[in-house]
Structure formats: structure tokens, C-alpha cells
A and B are shown apart, each in its own frame.
Chain A
Amino acid sequence: MKLRTLTLGLLSASTLAFAAHAESITIATVNNGDMVRMQTLTDDFTAKNPDIQLQWVTLEENVLRERVTTDIATKGGQYDVMTIGTYEVPIWAKQSWLLPLDKLGDDYDVKDIIPAIAGGLSVDGKLYAAPFYGESSFVMYRKDLMEKAGLTMPDAPTWDFVKQAAEKMTDRANGVNGVCLRGKAGWGENMAFLTAMSNSFGARWFDENWKPQFDQPEWKNTLQFYVDLMKAAGPEGASSNGFNENLALFQQGKCGMWIDATVAASFVSDPKASTVADKVGYALAPDNGLGKRGNWLWAWSLAIPAGTQKADAAQKFVSWATSKAYAELVASKEGWANVPPGTRTSLYANPEYQKAAPFAKMTLDSINAADPTHPTVKPVPYVGVQFVAIPEFQGLGTTVGQLFSAALAGQSSVDDALKQAQDAATATMTEGGYIQ
């Protein structure tokens, strides 16, 4: 009897100890397809780590950015893992807001991460965030409309070809626009596209001494080309179109070409959602023969805030979610086409993935063609292809985005928009102490 009581007592004590030991980590993320899929697959993680429970907080991108910034700046400690992008990582790492990821495990194979992506997520050689999925931008085009226009899309088109094709493909009477591009104001909306495009025109945000460059001819060429192209071949009301609006237009067959995130390829080629799924071709983002293409580089990544009390458990989770094994897990449950793209070189060497994702090679080539440390033709003092990794950029980028969006809508001229952008950038940089 005594023995039974003792055994029972020991058992309950160990259960209690186990329960007390089980820790829960909170992960903040966005509602993108790959993240949603990860949430459905976490049984695999909890089976391997029974002492760690996962709590998810899914938020709209802008709200997420605002919430995690507030939390990390005030050391609120609400999150143990955060989903952030290549813009935040270098800035936050320099502020010591993030923990370096040095305990990802022996079999993690850091070297397998695509170099361009790893470079964007590292500061002083240390990795501060692990990429969950990476993307660049490229041209998605309608093969049938291109053929009808009597043209053949090269693998690496020039802007002049894009303009020529867009004008020929435009058939407004039948609701077909030659090209759909972002116009909605925002540093991550139209400015992501326009900054990447400006790189291929040889433009830059700042010179080596942080002097704003909107008064230079390269920016004038970029913005004038963009406005003219959209006037001739863009959809109506383009100044309020972002990623989702253009996605809807393309899927409904209303765009001949769409230059946007590589991740869109999986949407436009999905017959369940797209009416043109079997007619889509892909090409690299256009260039102007200056040695740089107009494509960007972005990676939604998992980072650990310095204020967390559960750093070890958080690293275990980050390691699981961004490992090669996770890619295999997704492939076994939902097929290779649904594996998060753009993070690991080994994925692109996998013949099964190449077969399942016809856009795989073009995605990898696009990612490799972007260099965050040398984004444009001339040298720059900043890091970032479609953004400038300084804290002031969110505000400044959105202000300039509003000016350029107004120029697209015809509310101001290209010259006025550039002049105002130059003034706004000069004021911000003077205030920030970058220039006198």
C-alpha cells in the first residue's frame, strides 16, 4: 500500500514537474500561404519537442510591423519569435534588439542558405534571422497574348522590349492592359518596385555622402519611363494598385505582363484560382544594359527578440521551421510545389522540385541577380535593393511613394514629384544627422 502511494506520488510529482517545465513560445507572423501551412504542420515540431508549446499570433503585415516594433523597442516581451523582413534585420541587429542565431544545431547547414539572402540577414558575419521564404521579382507574362502580338519574350528582356510588347498587347476594348505595375503609395508597395526599377536605370537614393539623388537624370528617366509606360499600357486607376490588386487583374486575364514578386508565380499558375494558369511564362526583370536588373530581394525571416526569456526553445523552433527537413516535410504532405521557395540552394538542385515548380530556375536566377550591398550601378552607402536599410526609410519611402503615386495619377508632373521628393529626402537626412 505504502509503495503504491509512493509510486503514485512520484508519478504525479514528475507529471507536475514536466508540466511546469513545458514552456510556451509565442510566434508573430503574417497570413501568407507558406506561414499558414507551417501552422498546420507544427505537430511534427511538438512531437519532436514535447516540452515546447507553440502559440501563434497572425496579423496583417503593417499591423505586425507596428506591433513587433513597439514590442521590441519597449522590451514588451510579448513575442519569442518574430516574422520580419530583410529591411528590419540589419537595423534591429545593429540596435542589439535581436539575438544572433548561433544554436541552430549541427545538421542545420547554414552554408546551404542562398548567399544573397544570407548576406541580407547577417551583420558582421553573424546571422540574425533565418529565412523562411525568399523572393525576388520577375516578369510574368501571357504567352498567348505575346504570340498574338507577334513577339517572343527573351529570358532577359530590356525595358524597351517591355514597353514595345506592352503597347502591342494592350487591347482596352477587350479589357486587356499590356502591363500591370504597382502604383499604390508605400515604401513596401510602389517604392519597392520603383526603387528596384531605378537600379536598372542607374539611379540611387543617396550618393556615398548620403546626399539625396532625386535631382539626377537617372531618377527622371526612371519615373518618366514608368509614368509613360503606365499611361500607354497600364490599367485604369493604377495608382491604387498593389500586389493583391494586380494579382486579381492578372488572374482575371486583364494583364499582358506583370512585374512583381516571384512568389506570385504559384498563385497565377494555380488552376484553382487563376483563369490563365496554363498561359503564363516567366522572364527575368528588365534591364537597360547597365549591368543591373530591376528586381528586388526580400525574405520573410524568423528572428528572436533580445528580450525573450525562452531563447533556447525559440531557436529550436526557428531551426525546425527553416531546415531542410521542414522542406521535406512539406513536400511529403503537400507536394514539392508548396515548399517555401528562395531560401536554400539545395532545394533548387532537387530534380523533384524543378519538375514541380516550372518557375524554379527563374526564381533562383532572379534572387542571385540581386545584390543588397551593391544594389545599383554607382556605389551607395546603404544596404538594400528595393529599400535603404536605415530607420528613417519607412517614413521617407512612404512620403516619396505618395509623391510618385500622385505623378502616376496625373495629379502632379514628374518634375514636380522629383523636386518634392528631393526636398523631403534632404529634410529627413538633415534631421537625421546624415548630412549637414
Chain B
Amino acid sequence: MARAVSTQHKTIATAAAWIVALLIFFPILYTIITSFKSEQEAIQGFNLFPSGTTESYTAVEAQSGYFKFFLNSVFLSVGSTILALLVAIPAAWSMAFSPGKWTKDILMWMLSTKMMPAVAVLFPIYLIFRDTGLLDSRIGLMIMLMLINLPIVVWMLYTYFREIPGEILEAARMDGASLWNEIVYVLTPMAVPGIASTMLLNIILAWNEAFWTIRLTTTEAAPLTAFISSFSSPQGLFWAKLSAASTLAIAPILIMGWFSQKQLVRGLTFGAVK
């Protein structure tokens, strides 16, 4: 009997999970479906079965080349993530293994910077970028993306490092390991899953960042967010083209997310359940 109940529960839970997942994924699915419709089909109300035309993709590619934006997105998201990890790993290491009086406050302060609306600092940042010649440069934007995601990266790594018993590091030190050896041969191998999931999440965040990437770029450094934005029209319904542009923009990150979902979920739920 108990077995039957648990099976029933399991079925309900699975069904509920599927429904929730479908609800969350549906807007993306419908965007993909719409991208395979003609413009006339797209405005004719709800319809899950497109005619399968690829005219929108052809039009989108002809209007503004996808590849340049794609390369910028890859460069910016991967570059800013590597930069963020280089800064965040030592920071999280020191906070996790030799916390001071103010460690908690510093962590909270770092997180609080994420609570400020980005637009509040648009003008100062814009002027700094203008005066340092960083407007529309990949390097400038990479630094910007690194800075805005740094609090999350430090927090995630900090939580991860805290789970590693300090005794292991002490044992390594007893055996005569230097700080460098301790980080490279002991800490890093143990923290690889955590670093990997942090890296993945940060790549996704940087890929989707649409405030600074649109406002600090014009042509050279513009990533896929600027590509999508260019298909939004104040006068005219180009839903199929907009959907095609969106599908092209999210496809790489969606595929990457699909293959790395295990690491992502593990990283995000780590520490939640002991």
C-alpha cells in the first residue's frame, strides 16, 4: 500500500514538474515556432503549427550579419568569465579559509551593489568609457561585464569553498606544500565542479546581459543582445523576423545549457541540502 501511495505521489510530482517546466519553456518554444512562420501567419493569432518557411532566417541574415555579433557574444561572455574567476578565486579563497572580522560585511556589501539599478550609474560609466576611449570596445565591455557579475561569482565560489574542509588544506601544509601548491594541487581539483558551475552560470548571465551591452557599444563590440534589439520595430509587425533573430541569439546558450545542465543544477543547489 505504502508503495502504491509513493508511486502515485511520484507520478503526480513528475506530472507537476513537467507542467511547470512546459509553462516556463513555452515562451521560448513559441518563439522558435513563430520563427518558422511567415509574417502574415505570425500575426494571425495562436497557432502551434507553422508552415515551416525559413524566409525570416534568410531575411535576418541578409539584414545584419549574425556571425559578427555571435563572435562578440562568445568573446565577451567567455572573456568576462575568465577575468571574473581570476579575481574571484583568490577573493573567495581568502574569505572562506581565513575569514576576518569584516568578511561577512564585505560579502553583503558586494551583494548589495547588485541591488542598485544599473541606469543610476549610466552617465558616470558612460563618461569614464568615453574619456578612456573604451566606448564600443570589447575590452571595455568585458571589464564591465566582469564587474557586474563579480559579486555573484565571489558568492558562489565562497559557498563552494566553505564546503571544503580546512583540515585537508592544513594537512597539505603539514606536508610542506607551499601556498601555490596548496591552491593548484589540493584546492582546485576539489573545487573544479564548483568553479565549473560558476563559470557556466556566469557565461549565461554575461551572454544575456542587455543593458550595458546595448548602451556601451555601437558597431565593433556589439553582441547578440544588440542584434535582437535591432529587430524590434516601433512601426511594423515583424514578429517572425524578431523571433528568428531571438532564436538565433539564444540557440548557442540553450545548447550549452542543455549539455551542462547537470553541473548547473549541482552548482546552484549546492549547500542548499546537506
Q: Which one of B80-88, B165-173, B212-220 is at the interface? A: B212-220
B232 contact from A31, A33, A267, A273, Cβ within 8 A:
A31
B52-78 CB mask vs A (1 if < 8 Å, else 0) is 000000000011100000000000000
20 A-B pairs (CB sep. < 8 Å): A26-B219, A31-B230, A32-B234, A36-B63, A40-B63, A57-B222, A58-B230, A60-B230, A60-B234, A63-B215, A70-B215, A74-B123, A74-B127, A79-B218, A244-B234, A244-B236, A251-B43, A251-B237, A272-B39, A273-B40
Chain A nearest CB: distance from B131 CB in Å? 10
How many chain B residues touch the partner (CB < 8 A)?
Answer: 32
- A261→B237 contact, CB < 8 A: no
**Whole-angstrom CA separation of A30 from B238 in the bound complex:** 13
Contact partners of A244 in chain B: CB under 8 A: 233-237
The contact of A248 among B43, B62, B214, B233, by CB within 8 Å, is B43
| B235 x A78 contact (CB < 8 A) | no
CA distance A31 to B235 in the complex (A): 8
Given contacts A70-B122, A76-B130, A78-B135, contact A56 B40 (CB under 8 A): no
Report how far A275 CA is from B40 CA in the complex, Å.
8
Q: How far is the CB of B117 from chain A (nearest CB, A)?
A: 14
> Does B93 sit at the interface, judged by CB under 8 A?
no
| A271 closest partner in B (C-beta) | B40
What sequence of 0s and 1s flags, for each residue 33-63 of chain B, a beta carbon within 8 Å of any chain A beta carbon? 0000011100111000000000000000011
Q: Are B126 and A60 in contact, with the CB atoms below 8 A?
A: no
- Select the residue from A28, A30, A40 with max chain B CB neighbours within 10 A: A30
The digit string for A28-48, where 1 denotes a CB below 8 A from any CB of B, is 101111001001100000000
Q: Which parts of B149-205 form the interface with A (CB within 8 Å)?
A: none
Contacts of B11 in A (CB 8 A): none
The count of residues in chain A whose C-beta lies closer than 8 Å to any C-beta of chain B is 40
Chain A residues with CB below 8 A from B218, complex form? 26, 28, 55, 57, 78-79
Q: Is A347 an interface residue (CB 8 A)?
A: no
Report whether A263 and B235 are in contact in the complex, using a CB–CB cutoff of 8 Å.
yes
Report B-chain residues with C-beta under 8 Å of the C-beta of A30: 233-234
Most B-side CB within 10 Å, residue of A60, A61, A261, A275: A60
Which chain A residues lie closer than 8 Å to B214 at the CB level? 59, 63, 67
Q: Is A243's beta carbon under 8 Å from chain B?
A: yes
A248 and B39 alpha carbons, distance in the complex (Å): 11
- Minimum CB distance partner of A36 in chain B: B63
Chain B residues with Cβ below 8 Å from A78 are 135-136, 218
Q: Are A76 and B237 in contact (CB under 8 A)?
A: no
Q: Confirm or deny: A329 has a beta carbon within 8 angstroms of a beta carbon on chain B.
A: no
A33 to B44: give the CA distance in the assembly, Å.
20
Q: Is A252 an interface residue when CB atoms closer than 8 A count as contact?
A: yes
- CB neighbours (8 Å) of A40 from chain B are 62-63
Are B123 and A58 touching (Cβ within 8 A)?
no
Highest count of chain A CB atoms <10 Å: which of B43, B123, B135, B231: B43
Task: Give the CA-CA distance A106 to B145 in the complex, in Å.
Answer: 49
Is the pair A74, B130 in contact by a Cβ cutoff of 8 Å?
yes
B7 at the interface (CB under 8 A from A): no
Which residues of chain A are near B126, meaning CB under 8 Å?
Answer: 70, 74, 76
